Structure 1
Amino acid sequence: MERTQHATSREAPPSDDARAIINRIVGRLTTERPDATIDDARRMALALTYATDQAGFRTAAADSLEREVLIHMPRIEQPITRGEYALIVRHAIQA
Structure 2
Amino acid sequence: MPERTHPTQQDEGLRHATQPSEACRTLLLAIAQYLSVARPGDAMVDESRIYLARSYAQRWYGQDTATGAARTRDVLDHAPAPRTGQTRGEYALILRAIAEGR
Smaller-chain TM-score range? 0.7 to 0.9
Q: Counterpart amino acid of 2:18?
A: A
Q: Secondary structure at the match of 1:18?
A: helix
**Structure 1 residue ranges without an equivalent (≥5):** none
TM-score of the superposed pair, with normalisation by structure 2 = 0.79
**Structure (1 or 2) with the larger CA radius of gyration:** 2
Instruction: Indicate which of 76, 81, 87 corresponds to 1:75.
Output: 81
Q: Which runs of 5+ in 2 are unaligned?
A: none
From 64, 70, 73, the counterpart of 2:70: 64
Please say if residues 29 and 86 of structure 1, whose CA atoms lie closer than 8 Å, have aligned partners that are also in contact: yes
User: Residue 48 of structure 2 aligns to which amino acid in structure 1?
Assistant: R
Identity of aligned residues (%): 33
C-alpha separation in 1, matches of 2:83 and 2:44? 10
Q: TM-score, normalised by structure 1?
A: 0.85
8 Å CA contact 1:9–1:71 kept in 2: the answer is no
Aligned amino acid, residue 39 of structure 1? V
Give the equivalent residue in structure 2 for 1:18: 24
In the other structure, the counterpart of 2:47 is 41
What whole-Å deviation, never above 9, does each CA across 1:35-71 have from its counterpart, x for those lacking one?
A: 1111001000000000000111111101100000111
Aligned to 2:61: 55
One-letter amino acid of the structure 2 residue matched with residue 38 of structure 1: M
Aligned partners of 1:77 and 1:26: how far apart in 2?
16
Alpha-carbon separation, structure 2, partners of 1:57 and 1:90? 25
Runs of at least 4 residues off by over 3 Å? 1-6
Instruction: Provide the aligned length of Structure 1 versus Structure 2.
Output: 95
